[in-house]
Every structure is written in C-alpha cells, then in structure tokens.
Amino acid sequence: MNSRLKVFGIVALLGFIAGVIAQVTADYIIPWLVVVLPALIDAKWLVSGFAGAALTLVLVSVWAYMTGKKEQHPY
C-alpha cells in the first residue's frame, strides 16, 4: 500500500506542476508570443498545440525517468 500511496502522490504532484505550467503559459508566454510573432494571432490553436505537446513531452519524460528500472551491468 505504501508504494501505491507514493505513486498517487507523485501523480498528484505532477498534475499540480502541469497546472501551474499551463497557467503561466496562458498568462505570460502565449500573450508574449502573440506580441512578438504577429502572424500567430490568427493561429492561436497552433500555439496551444505546441504548448500542449511540450508539456506532454516534459511530463512523460519525468514519468519515464522516475519509473525507469535501474540498469545493472553484469561486470
């Protein structure tokens, strides 16, 4: 039961971090990109798609790193 509680806590923490990143992205990064790159005004879905892809890659990378088996070399 203890390991399940740890996994539950880690997933909750990752979800919290994802929410914070999404909020910061929505409040600061997307408006900044719209100012810097005026062509993206008509393509807000493009910015959202890239932000979602980046966030997903980060979360999956963290998950894979944290749950990966430790490699043991025979020599």
Q: How high is the pLDDT of residue 42?
A: 62
| 3-class state of residue 75 by DSSP | coil
Q: How high is the pLDDT of residue 26?
A: 84
- Cβ pair 67, 46 in contact under 8 A: no
- Cβ pair 14, 59 in contact under 8 A: yes
Which residues lie below 8 Å from residue 66, measured CB to CB, with a gap of 6+?
Answer: 10
How do the domains of the chain map onto residue ranges? 2-64
At position 8, the amino acid (one-letter code) is: F
Global pTM value: 0.47
Q: How high is the pLDDT of residue 43?
A: 66
Which residues lie below 8 Å from residue 68, measured CB to CB, with a gap of 6+?
Answer: none
Question: Which pLDDT tens digit goes with each residue over 4-62?
Answer: 788 888 888 888 888 888 888 888 887 887 777 776 556 677 777 888 888 888 888 88
